Amino acid sequence: MMNRFAQRVASGVLFLAGTLVASGEELASQEELYEGKEYAKAFSNPKDDPNLPNVLLIGDSISIGYTIDVRKLLAGKADVFRIPSNGKFAAHGVQNLDKWLEMKPGNWDVIHFNWGLWDLCYRHPKAKTQGKRDKVNGTITATPEQYEKSMEQVVARMKQTDATLIWCATTPVPEFEAGRKVEDAITYNQIAAAIMKKNGIRINDLYAYALTGLPDIQKKKGDVHFTPEGSAFLAKKVALEISSALAAEGEAGER
């Protein structure tokens, strides 16, 4: 029985998607967005090659950082799209997932997704830090219980697409981060991992992988973000997991 990608190629059905580019105003408003024109290119999605599988990346600024390198690594193997904004927190995903999934015609072959760093962030309206982060006086964006509920909702919705799903573990929170606690990344990852295992969803342990490169790939002390070299480092693991998922789809289609 052929998988969806094999059926699409065999039938010669052509799916076209226009280039989706976030406006300059939208990009400027994105909190914790990587700086530089190179990262803005992450929002310029490719045209849909009917001979290649379609991959969708969903995530926050960490995923914005590795999007371009993932595209480069999968060039000729898959068309890699991403949502046209910062994915922020899981409840934001619940509110926007329908329009993100429908941003191009046809079906997705692989969806690689993550929420977490925004969820576990404490913010206070009077804080002077970027993003109003304040883990001493602030309020957490989503409690573990709220995060769990939202993650269950997004997983249920994405399972309706029949795409191969890959959950990406939240990358580590470093010491001295103004609005996040180091141990919370572990807690929230455990919550999400349990949901993925229950639903038979593939797991990309980017948390453990990032640890092997830290602190060299860290953007600066206390920053959850990564240098360009660090984003390229993360992209290798993301591309590997996506390639593995596509290979499994191909093998299933040959049976």
Residue 15, pLDDT above cutoff 70: no
SS3 content of the chain, % helix, strand, coil (to 5): 45, 10, 45
pLDDT of residue 27: 33
DSSP H or E segment with residue 68: helix 61-73
Taking the C-alpha atoms of residue 10 and residue 146, their distance in angstroms, rounded to an integer, is 44
Three-class SS state of 177: coil
What values do phi and psi take at 194, rounded to 5?
A: -65, -40
* Structural domains in the chain plus CATH codes: 4-254 (3.40.50.1110)
Against a cut of 0.75, is the pTM above it? Answer: yes
Q: Per residue in 122-151, pLDDT tens?
A: 999 999 999 999 999 999 999 999 999 999
Convert 35-70 to b/e letters by CB count within 10 Å (16 or more is b).
eeeebbebbebbebebebbbbbbbbbbbbbbbbbbb
Taking the C-alpha atoms of residue 249 and residue 155, their distance in angstroms, rounded to an integer, is 20
Convert 205-244 to b/e letters by CB count within 10 Å (16 or more is b).
ebbebbeebeeebbbeeeebbbbbebbbbbbebbbebbbe
Q: Per residue in 62-104, pLDDT tens?
A: 999 999 999 999 999 999 999 999 999 999 999 999 999 998 7
Residue 23, pLDDT above cutoff 50: no
pLDDT of residue 251: 66
Looking only at Cα atoms, what is the longest distance across the chain? Answer: 60
List 166's β-bridge partners, or say none.
112, 202
Taking the C-alpha atoms of residue 237 and residue 207, their distance in angstroms, rounded to an integer, is 11
Average pLDDT over residues 146-169: 97
Do 86 and 63 form a contact (C-beta atoms < 8 A)? Answer: no
Do 104 and 48 form a contact (C-beta atoms < 8 A)? Answer: yes
Taking the C-alpha atoms of residue 107 and residue 48, their distance in angstroms, rounded to an integer, is 11
Q: Per residue in 195-241, pLDDT tens?
A: 999 999 999 999 999 999 999 999 999 999 999 999 999 999 999 99
DSSP state of 66: H
pLDDT of residue 250: 72
DSSP state of 126: T
